[in-house]
Structures are given as structure tokens and as C-alpha cells.
């Protein structure tokens, strides 16, 4: 057994059919965890779960579709995860929304509410649904995928940045509430990562050059470069870390 061994653990990862969520699910499975693949489309979830089972053995992954904007969907996700694996040891709140690029003065109420509801409220719903069993076992790890957008201002991503700053405070607050039960709650704050979700920020060569010009590593990251932090937080290696935000951004926020 190593510090990063996840054998015997069950991890539920939202938004895990592509990008960062998929990389986290694959790496947790590689380290021995059972994983629940979840996103809005059931057929895509099934394809991803099959791929993981083909690589790491049948029974490693199950697919449970859920729309994070629906409290009923999220409750079903937790109920079906418990039915499939009998427990949830690690919760990764990765799914998020960003339907608007531009200054805050131009955002519609519906767009603003969607960002706040999906990126903050839904995370709190999901965590509240999972925590009771973690309290009972006196053990659990909750990981919220935030963003370096929550650490600085933006002229085009203001609402998203506000939601991601709130996620960091959500982690701090819940870490204080649940620490006495040996439950850890942390955030990962990626910089610019090559995912479909962030495509608008890297697909244009001029935008990409501007985004990486002052980053010490002079490049954007890959989903796999975020997944290792999630394995750390979900395994024994991260047992004494709680209420923190791990910044993984190629140095973008220091320069």
C-alpha cells in the first residue's frame, strides 16, 4: 500500500465524461478506486464507463447520468452510487456552467443565476447529500474543482470568477463544519487547461499567446496535470489537508 493507493475507495465525479473530470476518474481508477461516471448524457456516461472497465477491470466504473441543475437528479446520483458500490468515500464536484462571456453589466439575470446555481448551490446540495454517510464512518474527502478565476478579476469571466471564489469559501466553511468528523473539504484551482469547456480561451492562437505570455511555463495545461492533485486529496496522502485551495496553473498567478 502506498500513500496514493485508493483501493477500497469509491469516488463520485461529476462532469466526468471529458476534460478534467474524465482525467480524474481515469487516474483514480488507475490507483484502485471504484468510480462513478456522471454527466448529463447517459449514452456518453456509458461509453466512458465501458472504456474505464475495459482498461481497469469490469466493475471499476458505473455510469449514472445527472444534470447538476436538478436537485432530484443529484439525489438520484447519490442513491444509485450507493446502490452500485455500497458507499461513497470521495466526492469530486467538477461539473460547472459558464454560459456568458463579457462584462457583468451585460449578463442576463437567468445567465447569472445559472452560473451561481450550478457552480455553487449544486455543489452544496451534492455535498450535503453525501456527508451523512461520511460522518457515520468518520472519514471522507470532498474535492471541489474551482479555478484561478476565483483569485483575480476578469473583464469577460466575471460571473464565473465570482462563482469560483465562492467555491473556495464553500470549501473553507465546510472544512470547519465537518472537520470534527474527519471529513476533508478542499478545492483545486486550475489555470488555463486544454479542455472543450475552456476552448474559447485557447482555440484562437492570439488568445492563447496572450494567455501564456507571462506564465513561467509558457503554455497551458492538460487535464491529466490536474488529476494527480485529485488523487492526492482522495487518498491517504491528503489526509491532513483541509479547507485549502491547490493552485495548479503553470505559475500564471505568480507572475
Read out DSSP for 29-58?
A: HHTT-EEEEE-S-HHHHHHHHHHHHHHH-T
Which residue has 488529476 as its cell numbers?
A: 227
> What's residue 102's pLDDT?
95
Contact 146, 188 (CB under 8 A): yes
pLDDT tens digit string along 137-175? 999 999 999 999 999 999 999 999 999 999 999 999 999
> What distance in Å separates the CA atoms of residue 131 and residue 59, rounded to the nearest whole number?
24
CATH class of domain segment(s) 10-190+223-247 = alpha beta
CA quadruple 55, 57, 61, 62: dihedral, nearest 10: 120
> What is the rounded end-to-end Cα distance, in angstroms, of the chain?
39
**Active site positions, annotated:** 160
> What's residue 197's pLDDT?
63
DSSP 144: E
> What's residue 181's pLDDT?
98
pTM, two decimal places: 0.95
pLDDT in tens, the chain (255 residues): 799 999 999 999 999 999 999 999 999 999 999 999 999 999 999 999 999 999 999 999 999 999 999 999 999 999 999 999 999 999 999 999 999 999 999 999 999 999 999 999 999 999 999 999 999 999 999 999 999 999 999 999 999 999 999 999 999 999 999 999 999 999 999 998 987 766 666 567 777 777 788 899 988 899 999 999 999 999 999 999 999 999 999 999 998
Positive or negative: CA dihedral 100, 197, 235, 45: positive
> What's residue 116's pLDDT?
98
**What would you measure as the largest C-alpha separation in the chain, in angstroms?**
53
Residue 210 to residues 148, 201, 213, 214, Cα–Cα distance (Å): 16, 10, 5, 8
> What distance in Å separates the CA atoms of residue 112 and residue 161, rounded to the nearest whole number?
11
DSSP 102: B
Amino acid at each position: 500500500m502506498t500513500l496514493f493507493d485508493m483501493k477500497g475507495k469509491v469516488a463520485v465525479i461529476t462532469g466526468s465524461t471529458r476534460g478534467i473530470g474524465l482525467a480524474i476518474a481515469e487516474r483514480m481508477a488507475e490507483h484502485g478506486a471504484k468510480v462513478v461516471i456522471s454527466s448529463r448524457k447517459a449514452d456518453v456516461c456509458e461509453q466512458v464507463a465501458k472504456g474505464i472497465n475495459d482498461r481497469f477491470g469490469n466493475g471499476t466504473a458505473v455510469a449514472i447520468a445527472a444534470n447538476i441543475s436538478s436537485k432530484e437528479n443529484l439525489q438520484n446520483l447519490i442513491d444509485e452510487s450507493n446502490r452500485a458500490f455500497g458507499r461513497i468515500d470521495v466526492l469530486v464536484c467538477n461539473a460547472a456552467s459558464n454560459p456568458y462571456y463579457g462584462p457583468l453589466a451585460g449578463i442576463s439575470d437567468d445567465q447569472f443565476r445559472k452560473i451561481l446555481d450550478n457552480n455553487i448551490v449544486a455543489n452544496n446540495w451534492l455535498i450535503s447529500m453525501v456527508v451523512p454517510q461520511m460522518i457515520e464512518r468518520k472519514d471522507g474527502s470532498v474535492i471541489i474543482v474551482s479555478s484561478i478565476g476565483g483569485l483575480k478579476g476578469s473583464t469577460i469571466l466575471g460571473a464565473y470568477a465570482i462563482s469560483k471564489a465562492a467555491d473556495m469559501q464553500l470549501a473553507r466553511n465546510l472544512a470547519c463544519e465537518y472537520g470534527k468528523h474527519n471529513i476533508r473539504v478542499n478545492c483545486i484551482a486550475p489555470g488555463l487547461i486544454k479542455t472543450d469547456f475552456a476552448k474559447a480561451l485557447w482555440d484562437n492562437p492570439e488568445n492563447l499567446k496572450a494567455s501564456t505570455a507571462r506564465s513561467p511555463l509558457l503554455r497551458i495545461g492538460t487535464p491529466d496535470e490536474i488529476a494527480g492533485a485529485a488523487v492526492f486529496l482522495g487518498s491517504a496522502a491528503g489526509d491532513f489537508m483541509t479547507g485549502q485551495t491547490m493552485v495548479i496553473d503553470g505559475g500564471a498567478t505568480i507572475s
